[in-house]
Structures are given as structure tokens and as C-alpha cells.
Chains A and B, each alone.
Chain A
Amino acid sequence: MTAFATDEVAKRYGKRWALHGCSLEVPAGRVVALVGPNGACKTTLLHLAAGLLRPTMGTVTVLGGDPARDLALLPRVGLVAQDMPLYRGLTVLETLRLGRKLNPRWDHEMVTDRLLQLSIDVDQKVGTLSGGQRAQVALAVALGKRPELLLLDEPLASLDPLARREFMQTLMQTAAEGDLTIVLSSHLIADLERVCDHLVLVAAGHLQLSDDIDSLLAAHRVLVGPRPTGAIAGVAEVIDEVRAARQSSMIVRVDGPIHDPRWAIEDVALEDLVLAYLSQARDQRVRSLDVVGAAS
């Protein structure tokens, strides 16, 4: 089953096109890294999935329905927006009571148990909690509605390393219980590498990659050797190339075994793969700007 899909989705804010022809599919049960530089359109994609935005063109499908029109979907989708918005003047317990009032499938026992385990005092005002505790409360509230799709916008950005690990431990324990698809956005893949099994990479409003991470790693290699003069058997596409005078190091997408002895072949690290696609996307943008410049 597909948890989240977009078909030729584009989004315009006023005169500016923010997202262009984006088609992707996220199978249910995955933990998805939504990665891209600032301004890549990550938040737009998450808000489209949550039904907060409607696409200008194309269709968004979440758990089989249209999130911007189908109200029955609302309780099944959780969104933790950037900076974890909570009412700072409410106590933790008041926040949870609010959650219970607003959500038909609210699991009060699970949420209070979770916060108890983390030694968070439910009588404390949200505004007086540490950043890490506030993030845990925001996560607990989002999980309290028992969503089938949980969207988290830059959840780690404001957390220190210890709070990050605790946040991820909680999140992965929830993932282990099953029946939940999680999408986490970040501009750093390193933050998400260990927890995610699916990558969606966006740059400047264009989708670069959307695939299972193990399949991506299996389909790419690093080649180190002489600068290539022609096609290399087994290489479908050169994604990125770093050239020195006599040597070049390439990240390539493969479509078969590479037997050419002139190149040393290595596995590619996920972070390097992401950087290669981002730099390819940037070069293509620069070239398309050149074409526009030459035409005018």
C-alpha cells in the first residue's frame, strides 16, 4: 500500500512556482528522509501531505484519499511543524487534555505513559520545559492521535545531540510497533541516515530522487581512475565528477557490472550520493539559466 503519493504536483505561491512536476510514491511502513537544501520545498511537500496546502496542479494522495478535501483523513495524519508549536502557557497535562478533546482516536494512556517514562512533569508549563522535553511533548501529542502517517518538519533542528538521540529513540520505538509511516525532513542527511530506509531528495523545487535507500546504494558506485574519454560499460550515468589533472573521482549510476580495470570501484556513502545529486541539480540549474540568458 502507498502511504503518500504525488502525481505531477506543482505549487505556485503568487507568481512564483515553488514546486515543479513532482511525482513520487512512499510505500506504507517506511521511515522517509525528506532531504534538500533550505528553500528546496520540503515544508511545502509536508504541508501538501497534511492537507494544509492544495497543489496548483497535479494530485496528492494520502492513505488513499485527498488530504485537502477528505476530512476523514485528518485524524489519520499527524504533523509536527517546524519549531514544535505548542501553547507555552498551558501545562503539559492541559496540552494533553486539549489533544484528547480535539482528536477522536486519542490514546491518553499511551501518551501519559510515554511522558512518564521520559520523566517529564505533566504539571509543568510547556514554556518552562527544555527544548528536548518540548520536542518530546510535541511528538507525544502527535503520536497520541494514533496517526498512520506522521510528518515531522525539521524535528532535530533545535535539539542538542543528547535530546536528538532521545527523540530518535522514542520515534524508532514507535516505528518498531508497526503500522506507521514516518516522514522526517532535514537539510542534513547525516542526521537521518541511520533511522531512514527511504530517501526523497529535493532541490529548488525539483524532485531529484525518491527510492529505497538500500536500492540507491546498490545502484551507485564511486569510480577512481583516469578521466573518462568515452562511455564506460556498466555505467548508466555519471552523476558527479571531481577532476584533478590526471585523475578523476566519479559517482556513477550503474546498470551492469563494471569490469574496466582502469578504474578502482568503491561503494558509495549515502551522504556522498546526496551531495552528488545536489551538485548535479545545481549545475543543471546554472546551465538552464545560461540558456535563458543567451536567448534574451
Chain B
Amino acid sequence: MALVFRLSSKSGVSAYLQIANQVRQAMLLGVLQPGDQLPTVKEVVGMVAINPNTVLKAYQLLEHQGLVEGRQGQGTFVTVALPGPSPAQQATLRRGLDRWLQAAFDAGLDAEGIVAMVEDRLHDRAVEDIA
């Protein structure tokens, strides 16, 4: 199976949105390419033990967004490529991030502080974009 789904009950995000987001992320990272089949509903519920309709709802949302296509009796397939960085670019970004994380830990920040700082910067940039 190409994908591993994981659900958090603390995030407050409903289960079907978490599934849909994880498919979209996999498409952005290139784990899922056009033509690839999404895990069947039975495979997903065998992994995360949720109501099968929740998975259908997630796949319907993705279909509505034009990212995947349900084919009668065959399953659900990815139809488009989402523009994301190439594997080489991802590796470079990951290395840069690792260096930055090490510097942050060395400076005494913990994981929570790092997440807060990243969210803060993303928020500031979004505000700057608007302004």
C-alpha cells in the first residue's frame, strides 16, 4: 500500500478532513502520482478503524476538488500532479531544515517552541503578503 494514514484525536480536525489532507500532502510530496490508485476503503479502515463512510466522504471531497477520480468497480485514482518541489529540491530543503533545527535545539528551544516560532513566522509572512 502506498500510503499510511494516521489520525489524531487531539487536533480537533474531523477524521474525513485528516484523511483528505494526508492524500493531498502525499500528492504534494510526490508519493502519489497521476494514475496511482488510492488505498481502497477496506484497506484504510483496516488501518485506522473508522467508519467506511468517513473514507468515502474524504475521497468524495478530493474528487470534488478535481484531484482524484472514482472509477466504477475499480477504485479511486489520482488524476493530476500537484506542483511541489522535486525529490532533489525536497532533499536540499530537508538538509537545510535539519541544520536549522540543530541550531534551534543548541540554542535551547524545545519542539514546542520551534513549532510556535515556525507558526509565528508563517503567520507574519501571510500578513505581509496581504499588506
Contacts and interface: CB of A to CB of B under 8 A. Distances in A.
Nearest to A169: B49
A81 interface: no
B42 A195 contact: no
B52 interface: yes
Interface residues of B, number: 16
Given A173-B42, A176-B41, A176-B42, A197 B53 contact: yes
A172 B53 contact: no
A176 B45 contact: yes
B51 A177 contact: no
Nearest to B9: A194
B46 interface: yes
B50 interface: yes
- What interface size band does chain A fall in? 10 to 19
A203 interface: no
Nearest to A196: B51
Most chain B CB within a 10 A radius of its CB, from A165, A172, A194: A172
A144 B47 CA distance: 22
B49 A165 contact: yes
Contacts of A169: 45-49
B54 interface: yes
Nearest to A217: B14
A31 B40 CA distance: 19
Contacts of B53: 197
Q: Considering residues A165, A195, A196, which has the most beta carbons from chain B within 10 angstroms of its beta carbon?
A: A195
B78 interface: no
Contacts of A171: 49
B15 interface: yes
A173 B49 CA distance: 8
A120 interface: no
A31 B53 CA distance: 10
A175 interface: yes
A82 B39 CA distance: 34
Interface string A155-183: 00000000001001111110111000000
Contacts of A194: 7, 9, 15, 49-51, 54
Contact of A175 (B47, B48, B52): B52
Interface in B30-50: 40-42, 45-50
Interface of A: 31, 165, 168-173, 175-177, 194-197
21 contacts: A168-B49, A169-B45, A169-B46, A169-B48, A170-B46, A171-B49, A172-B50, A172-B51, A173-B42, A173-B45, A175-B51, A176-B42, A176-B52, A194-B9, A194-B49, A194-B54, A195-B50, A195-B51, A196-B51, A197-B53, A197-B54
Given A173-B42, A176-B45, 11 more contacts: A169-B48, A172-B45, A172-B46, A172-B49, A172-B50, A172-B52, A173-B46, A176-B42, A194-B7, A194-B49, A197-B54
